[in-house]
Each structure stands twice: as C-alpha cells, then as structure tokens.
Structure 1
Amino acid sequence: MTAYRLVVISAGLSKPSSTRLLADRLADSTVRQLAVEGRTVDVQVVELRDLATDIAHNFVTGFPGPALREAIEAVTRADGLIAVTPIFAASYSGLFKSFFDVIDPDALTGKPVLIAATGGTARHSLALEHAVRPLFGYLRSVVVPTSVYAATDDWGTTGDRLTDGLPGRMDRAAGELAGLLAGRAPAGPGAGDTARAETEAVVPFAQQLAALRA
C-alpha cells in the first residue's frame, strides 16, 4: 500500500521550541489515527529556522538553494501539510510567511492543511483565524475546521466542561486531517507536475471573453 506523504512545517526559532513540539504532537496524532484504518504515513519535517538564509537569498536571486528546493518539492508533492508558526505581534512569523511566498501559488491548491500556532498568551489565539487561515484560503488549500493554538499555560492542561484541553484539540484537528487524507488516494511521483499542468491548461480570461462576444 502506498504511504501518504505528510509534510510538517515548523517555524520555531529556538531549539528545542514549543512550535516544533506542537508540530510533532499533531503529526503523531495524525499518524496514529490513520494507522487505526490500516493506512501508513511517511512524515517529513521541515524546520524553517534552518532555511532562513536560503529563503532570504531566494528573494534576492530568484533561485532556491538545494536545501530550500528540496523543502519546496516536498511541500508540492505532499498529500497533506501540518503548518505551525509562533505568533509575533498578533500574526504569523515573517519566516513562516516568507517560506510560503517562495512556493508556487498553485502548489497548495486542494491540499489538506492543518494549521496551528504557539504563543506566550492566549490573547493571540485568534491570530490563527484572522491571519493564518486566510493565508491558506488564498492559496486555495483545504484547511481543517479545527485550528490548534497552544499558549504557554495550555501545556499539561486537560480543559474544563466547556473547553477541550490542548490534547483534546490536537486529537480533534489531527482526526480531521486524517479524515481528509483517508478520503484521497496517495499522490504518486510527479503529482505536483500534474497539478501544474492542469493549472496551465486553464483557458485565459481574454479568450473566454472573445468566445462570449462571438
């Protein structure tokens, strides 16, 4: 059976980081829930802190270095993504946004994505909804309904009668991603090239207008 390709994007800056910890927990839960259905998953983690210089050079030169090119190809070929960013000034980090700026805008079309974030205080939790989710909406990804925000005080909590604790939210979001992946066939080699070819086959707007006039 072909394994699903799950790529985990972590934009944490420290090592170790709570961002990477959250990313790993979400990936583990997704793999575990797919395993119950007899499905296998190949997980690849992309640490953006290791690509920061390559990303900056790409903006200047227009060409990715080998490590960045490999990360971009992994995201393009992935069946699903887990994208986790620290929250700075009520939004995603600049490194997180810059990475997705150097990826072809069509590479994430229709791709299932679980979004998550970390921060020092719960006051920033809505950043996932007003900043991160619209980013992937613009990229035409299929974002799971549950986003996961982990403030410092969330680690080790179990929640209360009205609110799930962090483990419950992680499992619910991972279950939604697992459900989307289970409903799709694993992408074969060259899947990203096929998606681009389909995009290039779209009829130009001017041609569509000309056809209407005729």
Structure 2
Amino acid sequence: MKLVVVSAGLSVPSSTRLLADRLAAAVRRQADADVEFVELRDLAVEIAQGLTTGFPGSALGAAVDAVSGADGLVVVTPVFSASYSGLFKSFFDAVSGFDKDALAGTPVLVAATGGTPRHSLVLDHALRPLFAYLRSVVVPTGVYAASEDWGAEGLAERIDRAGAELAGLMRPLVAEPTGAGRAEEPVVVPFAEQLAALRGE
C-alpha cells in the first residue's frame, strides 16, 4: 500500500511537518505502507505556473501522480486567517484541475497546526468540505495541534486514533470464499469496489 503525506508548512523546521511525520508513523504502526512525502513549499513556483498555464512542471507532475495514485492521504496545513493556507488550496486546485477524479474515493486524514486552540474548527469548517467536494473519504478523527498541544496530554492519543482509522480504510476488505472454494485464498476486494457497492453503483 502507498501512503502519501502532503505538508504545507513554510518554515524549517516546521510544526506542520512534525505533525505530518507523527501521523505517518501512526498509520505505519497499523498498516504496512510505503510512505512518500510531498512538501508544498518546494513546489510553490510550479503550482503557480501550473495553475496559470494548465500544464504541470516535472516536480508538480510527480506530486500530482503520487497523490492520485495513493491508497491513503495525510494532509496537513498551517492555519492562515482561520482557514487552510493558500499554498495548500492551490495545490489541490491544481490536482483537481489536471484530473477532476484524482481523489475520488481516496481515504484522507485531515490535520492542521496553529498558534491558538481557537482555530481548531478549521478541520470541520474548511478541510472536510474541501475533501468532500473532491469526493474523498475523510476519516472521522481530524487532528489539530496548537502551539500549547505539543507535549500536552491528548495529542498523542488523537494522532494514534486518526492513524488507525486511516489504516483501516486503506486495508482491502478480505471476503471469505463461499461453497467449494472455502479452501482457496481469501478474495481481496479493492477499496474502490467497496465504495461503489456502498453507493449502489
């Protein structure tokens, strides 16, 4: 399985990247996944060029391909003006602009960092609606980390819970064979087919 982690932190070191690292580790504790990081800071120029020309540069194209081909996504943004950063939004505008179905059915764990606990609602008021629009499957637990949360009680538990939820959605459903085939290998049902069945497609 492939886990892609998108970090929109701007500084080095970055609390946004730190949270991304911890969330990726939490997923990997629950699922055997290869992890690829996408640092949006390094793609800022290509994102702007891609949005204005309609064509991705090589680095942006590789990032879009990684996100589009992921079995699960962890997305982390710093909070600016009570919402996700412009760089974060521009990247996902580019992803959906190049392929409107790129994230359809993809499990996504949303997370954000900020200087104050007052912005924790960014998860429900900004991030969840964005990925619902992109037709992703957002895990129930989002993770917001304010400056005072680092080292405080509760953050590690939220990270572990969110990581386990994403890992659970990334794992293929194993269906028991029926009839004479019970001695055979279990049948693995891809997540996209599980989702289509739930939708009645």
Out of 16, 19, 25, the residue aligned to residue 16 of structure 2 is 19
Out of 1, 4, 10, the residue aligned to residue 7 of structure 1 is 4
Which stretches in structure 1 are left out of the alignment for 5+ residues? 35-39, 159-164, 192-214
Q: CA–CA distance in 1 between the matches of 2:170 and 2:127?
A: 21
Out of 103, 112, 118, the residue aligned to residue 117 of structure 1 is 112
Q: CA–CA distance in 1 between the matches of 2:130 and 2:189?
A: 25
Aligned-partner residue type, residue 181 of structure 1: M
Question: What's the CA shift for 1:183?
Answer: 3.4
Question: What's the CA shift for 1:59?
Answer: 1.5
Q: CA–CA distance in 1 between the matches of 2:90 and 2:144?
A: 21
Aligned-partner residue type, residue 166 of structure 2: L
Q: CA–CA distance in 2 between the matches of 1:99 and 1:80?
A: 17
CA contact under 8 A between 1:5 and 1:186: conserved in structure 2? no
CA contact under 8 A between 1:10 and 1:23: conserved in structure 2? yes
Q: Size of the alignment, in residue pairs?
A: 174
Aligned-partner residue type, residue 66 of structure 1: S
Q: CA–CA distance in 1 between the matches of 2:189 and 2:5?
A: 17
Question: What's the CA shift for 1:186?
Answer: 9.7
Out of 74, 85, 89, the residue aligned to residue 93 of structure 1 is 85
Which residue does the alignment assign to 1:135? Answer: 130
Question: What's the CA shift for 1:105?
Answer: 2.2
**2:159 is the counterpart of 1:170:** yes
Give the match's secondary structure for 1:110. coil
Instruction: Trace 1:30-179 onto structure 2 (pairs within 5 A).
Output: 30-34=27-31, 40-103=32-95, 104-158=99-153, 165-179=154-168
CA contact under 8 A between 2:114 and 2:146: conserved in structure 1? yes
User: What is the percent sequence identity of the aligned residues?
Assistant: 67
Deviations 1:148-180 (CA, angstroms, capped at 9, x unpaired): 00000000011xxxxxx1000000000100111
Aligned-partner residue type, residue 167 of structure 1: A
CA spacing shift, 1:129–1:66, aligned 2, 3 Å: same
Question: What's the CA shift for 1:121?
Answer: 0.2
CA spacing shift, 1:152–1:84, aligned 2, 3 Å: same
TM-score, length-scaled by structure 2: 0.84
Give the match's secondary structure for 2:76. strand
CA contact under 8 A between 1:116 and 1:148: conserved in structure 2? yes
Aligned-partner residue type, residue 168 of structure 1: E
Question: What's the CA shift for 1:56?
Answer: 0.5
CA contact under 8 A between 2:143 and 2:162: conserved in structure 1? yes
Q: CA–CA distance in 2 between the matches of 1:90 and 1:125?
A: 9
Give the match's secondary structure for 1:102. helix
Give 4+ residue runs of structure 1 displaced > 3 Å after superposition: 183-187
- Supply the RMSD in Å over aligned alpha carbons: 1.5
TM-score, length-scaled by structure 1: 0.79
Q: CA–CA distance in 2 between the matches of 1:186 and 1:80?
A: 16
